[in-house]
Structure 1
């Protein structure tokens, strides 16, 4: 009987301590120093209103007052860091060639190319600079704007070159970088620990496991940004195929191109519902925010999605429609 009481009292003490530290993490952890804080993040510069990852898109978003530009980087054959989501240029330019096989030149992005991810009917392009830019051009054009860099390839030279550019332009305090891949994020941190990193998919799963077992309040983290999808939006978006992480407790990772919602099986819909239920937790977001870890939810393009994310305690939202998000934030209290 005494053993049972001991176990119950120990378990009860653990639960109470965990709950207290979840609410008040400052009792155990010093909050991370936030070098910048962003609510409005333009995904690829605002891929729904301009050609993605172009200077025209970036200028449009910054002129609107975006807090952060999100972009993607690749490396050319002559080791130039260019801003592009895809390694292959077929989707963006119509030319079936890999960036890594080419020396840098002013590749022009086809206006009106057959992809609804590029230009929407309400496109409000503020310029014609639709070529694929160098990362250093973005740094030079927007010296005060935070930039979120997705390192698209597990390439040591790419990581080193991006780090050198960040250091050259003295942007360590305005840059966050990483990828869903654990090895890439590890290399980024090792290359330049002064640049903030994101949680990779593997670390997100670990964090979720810690959260649901009550261990999260006791564990320190070196990452400063928690960037996650909102799984439920796949069930609402009928026309667009979304690449999404469906994150399920205790290590289930589902990273794949999903079918269109109307063609999805019940099991797929259940997985998405479960991932959304487990991941979109206000207690989790509030705890991370209190520890100085910013929470960004992507890629949200509707007012009800914006509202849900901020109501749950997200620090910021990534969107393809910076104008729409700006209008929403105008009426949404900070």
Structure 2
């Protein structure tokens, strides 16, 4: 009886599994509108510049941050790492090759050595003057003109033993820094250390990080940690990759008390679809496109 049941039911099970797997694609392709219409009237969403306006200027540089501010974004997301002499810089990768003319591991170089590198020509020769900024230089430039989400990248290295505390010290030096600077990380150790050192600092634990595999993140990480997250008021945001979202999934996350900030839709069509799905904010390389959409929606 059991064997027959499994035999006859397996096609149905496979069908439902396929629907669940392809649910985001089905919503994006056949269900969700890509047009600005009355359903979006009054919709509030945050515009978050991914590594600054990184589609318009080299990522994580002062030029990208200034461009994002000119656009009028709500937040700038940036990444931080330590140098070999334990200075905090704004940089995404563990290695230098992708966004500079240097090679090797970031933490093998001193700040002075890193400051000699060209951090802009890879994007466009007109940005050849751009250098890797320190976190202090970046925050001094932004100066509270928008909020800042500082993403702490995990590193199993001695240089990072007091990384969270040093970041908090930088925040303390900024005028009203507690109000506009937020520390966030997928790795809970940094958030706990920062909060223990100074509970005035805003912190966020991201259950799904940018570097996570999207499907693994949604199906495994979310379900495993959802209960724990509800017990910790610092675990309040999810930032799944936009290809993993559907209207139903966003609704379920909201029902559990989470905000949903998706990354990184970079076309007008994908952004509009995410807004129709009800996300709270969009992390994008092209905040200028998203700002135009906001203006169109406000004009409805």
Whole-angstrom CA distance in 2 between matches of 1:73 and 1:48 = 19
The answer (yes or no) to whether the contact 1:182–1:201 under 8 Å persists in 2 is no
Whole-angstrom CA distance in 2 between matches of 1:67 and 1:53 = 17
Superposition pairs for residues 322-333 of structure 1, below 5 Å? Answer: 322-333=287-298
Normalising by structure 2, we get a TM-score of 0.68
Whole-angstrom CA distance in 1 between matches of 2:198 and 2:139 = 18
1:300 aligned to 243, 249, 265, which one?
A: 265
Could you tell me which residue of structure 2 aligns to residue 153 of structure 1?
154
1:229 aligned to 218, 236, 240, which one?
A: 240
Cα distance, 1:68 vs structure 2: 0.7
Whole-angstrom CA distance in 1 between matches of 2:207 and 2:137 = 27
Whole-angstrom CA distance in 1 between matches of 2:254 and 2:276 = 10
Residues 276-304 of structure 1 deviation map (CA, whole Å, 9 limit, x = unaligned): 4598322423653xxxx543111111122
Superposition pairs for residues 122-137 of structure 1, below 5 Å? Answer: 129-137=129-137
1:58 aligned to 57, 65, 70, which one?
A: 65
Residues 106-132 of structure 1 deviation map (CA, whole Å, 9 limit, x = unaligned): 24435442xxxx46xxx9x8x765111
Could you tell me which residue of structure 2 aligns to residue 285 of structure 1?
254
Whole-angstrom CA distance in 2 between matches of 1:193 and 1:210 = 23
Task: Say whether 1:165 aligns with 2:203.
Answer: no
The answer (yes or no) to whether the contact 1:39–1:67 under 8 Å persists in 2 is yes
Could you tell me which residue of structure 2 aligns to residue 183 of structure 1?
189
Whole-angstrom CA distance in 2 between matches of 1:153 and 1:136 = 20
Count, aligned residues = 239
Change (3 A) 1:146 1:140: same
| Structure 2 residues without counterparts, runs of 5 or longer | 1-43, 210-216
Whole-angstrom CA distance in 1 between matches of 2:189 and 2:58 = 30
Change (3 A) 1:58 1:175: same
Superposition pairs for residues 60-79 of structure 1, below 5 Å? Answer: 60-79=67-86
Change (3 A) 1:294 1:219: closer
Whole-angstrom CA distance in 2 between matches of 1:110 and 1:153 = 22
Cα distance, 1:224 vs structure 2: 5.7
The answer (yes or no) to whether the contact 2:207–2:235 under 8 Å persists in 1 is no
1:318 aligned to 283, 287, 294, which one?
A: 283
Structural RMSD (CA): 3.2
Whole-angstrom CA distance in 2 between matches of 1:207 and 1:48 = 29
Cα distance, 1:62 vs structure 2: 0.2
Superposition pairs for residues 12-51 of structure 1, below 5 Å? Answer: 39-51=46-58
- The structure where helix makes up a greater share of residues is 2
| Structure 1 residues without counterparts, runs of 5 or longer | 1-36, 233-274
Normalising by structure 1, we get a TM-score of 0.62
Could you tell me which residue of structure 2 aligns to residue 109 of structure 1?
118
